[in-house]
A = this chain, B = another copy of it.
């Protein structure tokens, strides 16, 4: 069976489009996907950017919002502009990292994206994240306490360093076990095909 790492950032619009579709497409392609939440902030800062490129370059940002509307409609994924951009995905990323490889990381991640890009909520709000956890059948207080541990904080830093070492500069990204990197929701199917081909 093919294997693919799916790297996503909770504040990223195009990561959302991938997260809502990758399970179905991966099942069709016979590829086992590992969900890898990480932070883009440190990666942007290492390149000299202290904000999303879509904010630093507003002409490109304006295009992105229109493209997201069109892509969401095309792919059948609901989409509303978030209340701010980019939202701070640190809390959500810590929770997702604290799950380890538990299956519910997928439901949780999709729940966070739904809160952000459909329900127009703030994903840095503890109450919003608690609610998503409860919908996943988790005990929110226990998970949130674990997510704030030094071990989880350090794991998230290590994952983000691993993303950087893999040449990742944006999200979503995909990496294969033979070292190929694919960037963007537009490369999802191609990345799955590659993973299947080398299986």
- Contact residue range for chain A? 20 to 34
Tell me, yes or no, whether A47 is within 8 Å of chain B by CB.
Answer: yes
Chain copies in the assembled complex? 2
Per the bound structure, the CA–CA distance linking A181 and B180 in Å amounts to 30
A74 touches B169 (CB 8 A): no
Name A residues whose Cβ lies closer than 8 Å to a Cβ of B. Answer: 47, 57, 59-60, 62-63, 66-67, 70, 74, 167, 169-170, 180-184, 186, 190
Pairs across A and B, CB under 8 Å, 20 listed: A47-B57, A47-B59, A57-B169, A59-B167, A59-B169, A60-B169, A60-B170, A62-B167, A63-B167, A63-B169, A63-B181, A63-B183, A66-B180, A66-B181, A67-B182, A67-B183, A70-B190, A74-B190, A184-B186, A186-B186
